[in-house]
Structure 1
Amino acid sequence: MTLHHDIHGRTDDGAPTLILSSGLGGSGAYWTPQIEALARHFRVVTYDHRGTNRSGGRGQDTIAAMGDDVLDLAVAVGAERFHLMGHALGGLIGLDLALRAGSTVDSLVLVNAWGKADPHSGRCFDMRITLLEKAGVEAFVAAQPLFLYPAVWMAEHAPRLEAEIAHGIAHFQGREAVLARIAALRAFDVEARLGEIAVPTLVVAARDDLLVPCTRSLALADAIPGARLALSDFGAHAVNITEPVWFNAAVGSFLASVGGIAS
């Protein structure tokens, strides 16, 4: 089954392919603030993870299986090689693919990702699971912005958040899917293998991320050979949404420097 996906930007034969993989929510629409900037230089592929949003089927329960889905997607869009940008869980998919023998990944952008989950993130996920199990879908979805955005940003974007919560409730991926995806990201551990990653890597993080301490990103940048770090003081877990100008400039500069942006 080919996952629901959208292709943006360049269509010429020389266009490099950039696949964008989102986090726990699994929606390709998460990357909307990046599409216009990236589509000038890439064939950008966004997709909904299996079992979420517009992609059907039962959700995958391991990061490796989610990586297999990306490889199938690359074949479906005719990409023999590709760059990958992943947010949180999507970043774990990128790490998994980059560590495979004969990897077809040309570069990685890892946004608030980790080689091994921090115990603090585990506490946050425990709380989210409790909300889902004890208070229901509405409470689980309503609490989600607290883990994604800075307080001041939420205060300034209240109507947007209300619409986002309503959409999240209406299109909830299902209890079993959420629990399986949380279990997959908590089980992921490649800390001992980070030194094997041989592709150019940009690590992006925000100091005020409530869900994933920025120390996880600092550890990635230290352990991955030649990795670069872009660290924002503000922006929280969804820094690509809250600080899109800064984020797009950092990613664009990196991709240009590694040859990902074609003329």
Structure 2
Amino acid sequence: MPLHHELHGPAEGDAVLLSPGLGGSAGFWSPQLAALVEAGHRVIAYDHRGTGRSPADLPAGYTIAEMARDVLEVMDATSTPRCHLVGHALGGLVGLQLALDAPARVASLVLVNAWSRPNPHSARCFEARLALLGACGPRAYVEAQPIFLYPAAWCDHNAQRVAAEVEHALAHFPGEANLRARIGALRAFDVDARLGQITAPALVASAEDDVLVPWTCSQRLAEGLPQASLDRMPHGGHAHSVTEAAAFNRRLLAFLARVGAPGVPA
């Protein structure tokens, strides 16, 4: 079944493909859409397979490589030969895998709080989240989700927004089997020894107060990728593209301006 995808911006613009994290929803990138379109980019957003508007039963042993093949499907469906791929967390892993499997299709990478190999802290977080899901069900799982995404002060200041997001996540919960398959895929991901093979320019964006993925994972990415720069923000949490959207967008647009001029197809 074709994946749900959306096109925004001018048809002739530089192609920017947005790959969300574990939640899998194109809506995660709402804080970036207007800025990218205003800068002249052709923006492609999609729902990952088995989430949101791309329903599917994910198989056991599901992999990041399969998710990368889904990106190629979206690119082919939108007549996109190359793209600047912006990926958040799991979406960043998909970008790394795509750059290894189909390097000619990747003009650049923006990796937001991503990683190249498993780490014990994130593993502990995912174990706790899966235990909560198994023992208490989807409601408890999605109620806990903002703790891992956002700084506490931001959640407090945006309490109504967070509550609405929780209800939306519960209404669109992908099912326990699919969620476990997606978490299994990201936990098995390890391309640390292959980072030197990825020659696309990369912006590695991290937040130092990310409670789910240590910012040092981004540091390792930046050190291992041949053409990478590390952008460290002191505050914003795991989803700092949401909580510090204006600052994030400035950095994103500056990077894209360096690696490809709008109006020239990627």
Per the shorter chain, which TM-score range?
over 0.9
Q: Percent identity?
A: 51
- Give, in whole Å, the separation in 2 of the partners of 1:101 and 1:4: 22
Equivalent pairs counted in the alignment come to 261
Asked whether the 8 Å contact 1:89–1:185 carries over to 2, the reply is yes
Asked whether the 8 Å contact 1:97–1:103 carries over to 2, the reply is no
Q: Does the alignment pair 1:32 with 2:33? A: no
Which moves more between the two structures, 147-156 or 101-110?
101-110
| Matched letter for residue 21 of structure 2 | G
Task: Provide the residue aligned with 2:51 in structure 1.
Answer: 52
Deviation, 1:102, is 4.7
Q: Does the alignment pair 1:179 with 2:177? A: no
Give a deviation string over 1:86-124, Cα, whole Å, max 9, x none.
000000000001112553100000000000121100000
Q: Indicate how the Cα distance of structure 1 residues 260 and 212 shifts in structure 2: closer, same or farther if over 3 A, else same.
A: farther
Asked whether the 8 Å contact 2:103–2:198 carries over to 1, the reply is no
Task: Provide the residue aligned with 2:125 in structure 1.
Answer: 124
Asked whether the 8 Å contact 2:4–2:46 carries over to 1, the reply is yes
Deviation, 1:42, is 1.1
- Give, in whole Å, the separation in 2 of the partners of 1:50 and 1:152: 33
Q: How does 1:133-212 map to 2 (within 5 A)?
A: 133-212=134-213
- Give, in whole Å, the separation in 1 of the partners of 2:95 and 2:103: 14
Runs of 4+ in 1 over 6 A off after TM superposition: none
SS in 2 for 1:234: coil
- Give, in whole Å, the separation in 2 of the partners of 1:35 and 1:205: 20
Q: Indicate how the Cα distance of structure 1 residues 11 and 157 shifts in structure 2: closer, same or farther if over 3 A, else same.
A: same
- Give, in whole Å, the separation in 2 of the partners of 1:76 and 1:101: 16
Asked whether the 8 Å contact 2:84–2:107 carries over to 1, the reply is yes
SS in 1 for 2:43: strand
Asked whether the 8 Å contact 1:83–1:260 carries over to 2, the reply is no
Q: CA RMSD in A?
A: 1.1
Task: Provide the residue aligned with 2:67 in structure 1.
Answer: 66
| Matched letter for residue 105 of structure 2 | T
